[in-house]
């Protein structure tokens, strides 16, 4: 109770400071997805009002301090895709995880800073997420695995069959921004390292595509 009182006081000080400067910091994240539900309706409304007035940077530290016990849930899962471009990763996400996981993709976020902010939000709110990038090398996958394991997230990997000729053919059927230069696909293929459990994956799967249907198999080092 003392910690809760202290955090409320800190939040109220922040609100006063921001009002004095006539600055507004709208919260872009859904309130109900960030704040645990309380039986006391008055307390719930007070928390909602408080967090609406606090900018996101402050929100992360306050949530972690106020509700540290809510960081451990059975559904805390980090899914990491691996495979060259045009192998069906984003389509697979839409089919399998669209309703349950946050979509982390450089195609959408454009910068590593934005990507990190989204992952931080998922970590602090115990929200499962999918990293939908090519992630071809051990080094690129390691950074996601490290932050997920450090925060008690289950790490699941999906490797998408990466036949260069098939990927180039599918890419040539694309239009507009979805179609990427062939040199980009070839460059990613050269960097491709097959994943393994030794990287820190709790589960690992192999995904193939045939006639627009996905087949998922348990990982085998013989793949």
The stretch 184-205 carries a mean pLDDT of 96
| CATH class for the domain made up of 77-218 | alpha beta
- pTM, 2 dp: 0.68
Cα dihedral 195, 200, 203, 208 in deg (nearest 10): -10
- Output the average pLDDT for the chain: 78
Q: What is the pLDDT of residues 155-181, one digit of tens each?
A: 999 999 999 999 999 999 988 888 989
More confident of the two residues 130 and 18: 130
Q: Which of 141, 2, 162 minimizes the C-alpha distance to 79?
A: 141
How is the chain split into domains, by residue range? Answer: 2-69, 77-218
**What pLDDT is stored for residue 37 in this prediction?**
46
Sign of CA dihedral 10, 16, 20, 25: positive
Q: Does 42 or 212 have the greater pLDDT score? A: 212
The answer to whether 54 touches 15, Cβ cutoff 8 Å, is: yes
Distance from C-alpha of 108 to C-alpha of 102, rounded to nearest angstrom: 12
pLDDT digits (tens, 9 = 90+) for 18-28: 445 434 434 33
Asked if 56 contacts 28 with a C-beta cutoff of 8 angstroms, the reply is yes
Q: Averaged over 120-133, what is the pLDDT? A: 93
For residues 109-131, give the mean pLDDT: 93
Tell whether the model's pLDDT for residue 4 goes beyond 60. no
Q: What is the pLDDT of residues 38-93, one digit of tens each?
A: 445 555 555 555 555 445 445 555 555 544 444 444 579 999 999 999 999 999 99
């Amino acid at each position: 109770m003392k910690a809760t009182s202290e955090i409320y006081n800190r939040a109220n000080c922040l609100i006063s400071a921001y009002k004095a400067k006539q600055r507004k910091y709208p919260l872009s994240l859904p309130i109900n997805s960030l704040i645990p539900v309380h039986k006391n309706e008055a307390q719930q409304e007070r928390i909602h009002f408080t967090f609406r007035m606090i900018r996101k940077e402050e929100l992360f530290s306050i949530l972690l301090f106020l509700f540290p016990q809510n960081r451990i849930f059975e559904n805390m899962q980090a899914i990491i895709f691996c495979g060259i471009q045009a192998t069906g990763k984003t389509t697979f996400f839409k089919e399998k995880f669209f309703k349950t996981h946050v979509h982390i993709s450089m195609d959408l976020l454009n910068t590593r800073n934005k990507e990190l902010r989204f992952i931080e939000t998922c970590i602090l709110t115990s929200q499962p997420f999918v990293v939908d990038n090519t992630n071809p090398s051990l080094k690129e996958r390691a950074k996601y695995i490290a932050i997920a394991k450090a925060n008690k997230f289950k790490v699941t990997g999906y490797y998408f069959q990466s036949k260069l000729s098939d990927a180039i053919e599918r890419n040539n059927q694309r239009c507009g921004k979805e179609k990427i230069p062939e040199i980009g696909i070839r460059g990613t293929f050269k960097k491709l390292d097959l994943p393994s459990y030794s990287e820190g994956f709790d589960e690992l799967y192999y995904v193939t595509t045939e006639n627009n249907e996905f087949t998922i198999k348990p990982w085998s080092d013989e793949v």
